[in-house]
Structure 1
Amino acid sequence: MTRPAPDFAAETRLATLHGPWVAGCDEVGRGALAGPVSVGLVVIDPAAAGLLAGVRDSKLLRPDARVDLIGSIMAWAAAWGVGHASPQEIDELGIMPATGLAGRRALEAASGSQRPDVVLVDGNYDWLTPRRQASLFESDQFDGGPASAVPPVTTRVKADMTCLSVAAASVLAKVERDELMRQRHESEPHFGWDANKGYGTEHHRDAIRAHGPSENHRRSWRLI
């Protein structure tokens, strides 16, 4: 059965409530054993932006189709950004705070062109807004800067399949992260990152057993 193409229905409702500039946001690589967690963010005005043909959740597109869409997405969006959190940051902070850190880096990159009034995040959990950290000495400490630095956030399950801005953000994040893993593959080809992109395939786990983890692995994770 053919899935309906993503549209602007959710973005239009959010623009009515918060203002014209809506950002779609999605992460890639959260479940991998190696490499960064990456977040894409795309800012649009749903009243002015036209529908963009061919854009789907990045998981539903062939690699060459994703790459072919990059120029169109960048030209279509009012602003866009991709942020990353390193394996070392994931080990230090934990995966959800590190995903938020990557997302705020994407937001910062996009905000240089157009700051959004509201952010639509795929899933059912707001990992983008900084969480307050308990401290004996400070009462207003957060894991990634002041909460006021992030616009209001709303979540939507399967937004990457139904919301065009989120689908476009997922494509940007996937293409950039895949390229980073291909670059890392050149120095450590035994892990097969050009193919598995850091995910826990049998070949990847066998290579970790044979060679041990590298600095590109999330060493706090159960790798094998």
Structure 2
Amino acid sequence: MTTRAPDLETETRLAALHGPWVAGCDEVGRGSLAGPVTVGLVVVDPSSSELLPGVRDSKLLRSGARVDLVDAIKDWAAAWGVGHATPQEIDTLGILPATGLAGRRALDAAARNRRPDVVLVDGNYDWLTPGRQASLFEEERAGADRPGGGADRLPPVTTQVKADLTCLSVAAASILAKVDRDQLMCRRHESEPHFGWESNKGYGTQHHRDAIRTHGPSDHHRRSWKLI
């Protein structure tokens, strides 16, 4: 079954509530045994942005198709950023706070060119805001009660389940995050090829777990996780 292409309907609604600049945000690598958790963020003005052909949730695209879309996404976006949180940060903070840290790094990178008025996060909870998780049925204006303004404050954050499938900015962000993290894991494969990161990207395949048993965990593994 073919899924409907993502569009800018949600972004348009959020822009009417908060201001013209809407950021879509998505993460990759949260369930991996090794490597960072990575967040992509894409800022658009939905009133003046065209739809971007071929962009889908990164999980629905082949690797080559994702790579081919990166330059088009960066040209299309008003601003974009990718942020990582290291395995050591994941071990210290926990996976959700570390995901938020990576997201704020992506936001900081994008904000050098265009600070968004609101951020749309894929899922049913707000992992971007420190110390806060949104409820499943959080209202659209999530975070509007938090203080605003100032470079050190987050824009309002709202969540939407399956936003990576339906919201073009979030789908685009998922591609930037996936391509960046995959390329990073492929580079790390060169120094420790026995873990097979070039193919498994740090996820818990049988080959990867067997290699951990044989060689022990590396500095790129999440030591607080059940690795084998």
TM-score, normalization by structure 1:
0.93
Aligned pairs (5 A) from 1:1-224: 1-131=1-131, 149-224=153-228
Distance 1:147 1:128, change over 3 A: farther
SS at match of 2:209: helix
Tell me if structure 2 keeps the 8 A contact 1:130–1:147: no
User: Displacement, 1:148?
Assistant: 5.7
Separation (CA, whole Å) in 2 of partners of 1:24 and 1:34 = 25
Distance 2:82 2:177 in 1: 6
**Unpaired stretches in structure 1, ≥5 consecutive residues:** 133-145
* Aligned-pair CA distance for 1:221: 0.2
Instruction: List per-residue Cα deviations over 1:2-53 (Å, max 9, x = no partner).
Output: 1000001110100000000000000000000000000000000000000000
The RMSD of aligned alpha carbons is 1.2
Distance 1:222 1:98, change over 3 A: same
SS at match of 1:205: helix
Residue 147 of structure 1, CA deviation: 10
2 CA distance for matches of 1:156 and 1:163? Answer: 9
How many Å apart are 1:149 and its aligned residue?
A: 1.8
Letter in 2 for 1:22: V
Identity rate of aligned residues, in percent? 77
SS of equivalent to 1:3 = coil
Counterpart-to-counterpart distance in 1, 2:194 and 2:99: 27
Instruction: Return the letter of the residue paired with 1:71.
Output: D
Report the secondary structure of 1:187's partner residue. coil
Q: Distance in 2 between matches of 1:197 and 1:40?
A: 17
Deviations 1:66-97 (A, max 9, x none): 00000000000000000000000000000000
- Matched to 2:194, the amino acid is H
**Does the 8 Å contact 1:129/1:147 carry over to 2?**
no
Residue deviations 1:90-113, cap 9 Å, x none? 000000000000000000000000
In structure 2, the residue corresponding to 1:106 is in which secondary structure?
Answer: helix
Q: Secondary structure at the match of 1:127?
A: coil
Distance of 2:216 and 2:151 partners within structure 1: 39
SS at match of 2:211: helix
CA distance in 2, matches of 1:98, 1:196: 21
